[in-house]
Chains A and B, each alone.
Chain A
Amino acid sequence: MTAIKPTTLTKRIIPCLDVDKGRVVKGVNFVGIRDAGDPVEIAKRYNDQGADEITFLDITASTEDRGTTLKMVEQIAGEIFIPLTVGGGVRSCEDIRRLLNAGADKVSINTAAVTNPELVKEAAERFGSQCIVVAIDAKKVSAEGEADRWEIFTHGGRNPTGLDAIEWSKKMVELGAGELLLTSMDRDGTKNGFDLGVTRAIADAVSVPVIASGGVGNLQHLVDGVLIGHADAVLAASIFHFGEHTIPEAKQFMADQGIPVRL
């Protein structure tokens, strides 16, 4: 066979399932939560449509429902053969081990990365950086007219930590995060598009891939996340859950604007 033109790493589209008590619900910050269906069926649908990965975020408040999550992850992992990231309530290496054993390929650490940064290091050493994703929940704190500044918030954007989002992201990568899942808490659930400023600032500052999340309301937002925000992957929930767009439509739209995607 003859040499063919060089291949390119594609930008990833990642549908996200926010799961509460065993059901997919609309984004975390929505007031009127809308049921979007059964996680296993939805994950399978996205897999069949050609999603590049699936993220499963357990937003169940109570710990007694964690068992349900493990069972569900196991069921999803038996049905889909693309990477599956699971997050929500991950506090220890033992939590991570259980999720990986249930079939998760990567585990996303959220609040625990703030309260116990050593967990990121320990987890990366034990399981490998490739399966440790750190969730960065950032909110703009600079006033109008000031230089842009973003801070890390916990508890769904309610609790400020005083940590600078860019410095914090670099620290997480140093500790061993293999990817960052960056959510703009100002935008999550608004459908107004990603916060491109913080996305680009962090994507340009770290050596690992950044997944942009929070605020996608249309397909142009996905394109902007990559072209302006320099994201390596884009995550969205509601535009896919309620049939506004399919994964192939989103990919075609991105491809038409010159973004390499897996079609």
Chain B
Amino acid sequence: MDLVIIDYGMGNLHSAHKAVEKVAAGRKTVAISSDPEVIRKAERVILPGVGAMRDCMAEMTNTGLLPVIAECLQNKPFLGICVGFQALMQTSEENGGVDCLGHFQGRVKFFGKNLVDSNDQRLKVPHIGWNQVQPTQDHALWQGISAAEYFYFVHSYYVEAKQPEQRLASCDYGAIHFDAALVENNVAAVQFHPEKSAAAGLQLLNNFLNWKP
């Protein structure tokens, strides 16, 4: 398989699968799998994720996929999406505090209940909808995507990375400036949903399919 979407029992992977199939356009093979051998043999993988962090970490453990995910993080192009991004950080504030995979240094924080915009109007949490993403470094994953392009987000928690050189893109919600994407070597991760972000999202997935870190 050229690309495998890791199925660890969390939520709906169909959107991601359909979007990747669209950009693969029959030239590359794409599958959803929970089989460690299939994942191990994949050329590249996507770690998706919806739902709560505690459940995500528990499912990764219960399905026995933690070892193969750890291997993939070391040896092949890897894309984390949404909770699959947050899971790569050290800890999350969600569910009273959850230890995560710790691939990237930094933590996952709650937007809070009292977020307001510049006009003092209350902001809704989750952060749902289209917001602009500002690339913070030149990278193959941004090829063909303009600065300040819109992507679709759905999340109540955000990433605060410790190492600035890993920053790939940022975004603002109210007064909170957060990491919309990180990258280091073969591992990239995004907070937004490229699979639901129209042409820009498909371009990013296509860039990932062709990425040679």
Q: Which residues of A contact B (CB under 8 A)?
A: 1, 4, 6-12, 47, 50, 52, 77-78, 81-83, 100-103, 105, 127-131, 178-179, 204, 207-209, 230, 232-233, 262
Q: Which residues of A contact B52 (CB under 8 A)?
A: 128
Task: In the A-B complex, list the 7 residue pairs whose CB atoms are closest, starting with the nearest.
Answer: A7-B132, A6-B172, A128-B51, A262-B150, A262-B130, A100-B12, A130-B154
Minimum Cβ distance to chain B for residue A196 (Å)? 16
Minimum Cβ distance to chain B for residue A259 (Å)? 12
Q: Which residues of A contact B198 (CB under 8 A)?
A: 47, 50, 81-82
Minimum Cβ distance to chain A for residue B32 (Å)? 12
Whether A83 contacts B152 by the Cβ 8 Å rule is: yes
Minimum Cβ distance to chain A for residue B77 (Å)? 21
Whether A8 contacts B124 by the Cβ 8 Å rule is: no
Q: Which residues of A contact B19 (CB under 8 A)?
A: 81
Is B196 among interface residues, defined by CB-CB distance under 8 A? Answer: yes
Which of A10, A102, A130, A204 is the one whose CB lies under 8 Å from B150? A10
Q: Which residues of B contact A7 (CB under 8 A)?
A: 131-134, 148, 171-172
CA distance A77 to B172 in the complex (A): 29
Which of A4, A47, A209, A262 is the one whose CB lies under 8 Å from B124? A209
- Chain B 25-84 interface residues, beta-carbon cutoff 8 Å to A: 50-52
Q: Which residues of B contact A (CB under 8 A)?
A: 11-12, 14-15, 18-19, 22, 50-52, 113, 117, 121-138, 147-148, 150, 152-154, 171-173, 177, 195-199, 201-202
Whether A9 contacts B22 by the Cβ 8 Å rule is: no
Between-chain CB contacts (< 8 Å), 7 pairs: A1-B138, A4-B147, A10-B130, A77-B14, A81-B19, A130-B154, A232-B128
CA distance A194 to B14 in the complex (A): 34
Q: Which residues of B contact A130 (CB under 8 A)?
A: 50-51, 126, 128, 154
Residue of A nearest to B176 (CB): A6
Q: Which residues of A contact B131 (CB under 8 A)?
A: 7-10
CA distance A47 to B152 in the complex (A): 14
Minimum Cβ distance to chain B for residue A204 (Å)? 8
17 more A-B contacts (CB under 8 A) besides A83-B152, A103-B14, A209-B126? Answer: A1-B135, A1-B147, A4-B148, A6-B177, A7-B131, A7-B171, A8-B131, A12-B130, A52-B130, A77-B15, A102-B14, A105-B15, A105-B196, A127-B12, A130-B51, A178-B154, A207-B125
Q: Which residues of A contact B137 (CB under 8 A)?
A: 1
Q: Which residues of A contact B172 (CB under 8 A)?
A: 6-8
Whether B129 contacts A209 by the Cβ 8 Å rule is: yes
Residue of A nearest to B155 (CB): A130
Q: Which residues of A contact B195 (CB under 8 A)?
A: 81
CA distance A78 to B19 in the complex (A): 8
Q: Which residues of B contact A11 (CB under 8 A)?
A: 129
Q: Which residues of B contact A103 (CB under 8 A)?
A: 14-15, 18
Which of A1, A10, A128, A131 is the one whose CB lies under 8 Å from B129? A10
Which of A9, A12, A204 is the one whose CB lies under 8 Å from B127? A9
Residue of B nearest to A130 (CB): B154
Which of A82, A100, A178 is the one whose CB lies under 8 Å from B152? A82
Whether B12 contacts A131 by the Cβ 8 Å rule is: yes
CA distance A146 to B51 in the complex (A): 43
Q: Which residues of B contact A131 (CB under 8 A)?
A: 11-12, 50
Q: Which residues of B contact A105 (CB under 8 A)?
A: 12, 15, 196
Q: Which residues of B contact A233 (CB under 8 A)?
A: 129
> Beyond A101-B14, A127-B11, A232-B124, is A9–B202 a contact (Cβ under 8 Å)?
no
CA distance A130 to B50 in the complex (A): 8
CA distance A230 to B121 in the complex (A): 9
Whether A179 contacts B15 by the Cβ 8 Å rule is: no
CA distance A208 to B131 in the complex (A): 17
Residue of A nearest to B137 (CB): A1
CA distance A9 to B178 in the complex (A): 13
Minimum Cβ distance to chain B for residue A225 (Å)? 15
Q: Which residues of B contact A6 (CB under 8 A)?
A: 172, 177
Q: Which residues of A contact B202 (CB under 8 A)?
A: 81
CA distance A101 to B134 in the complex (A): 33
Which of B50, B152, B153 is the one whose CB lies under 8 Å from A128? B50
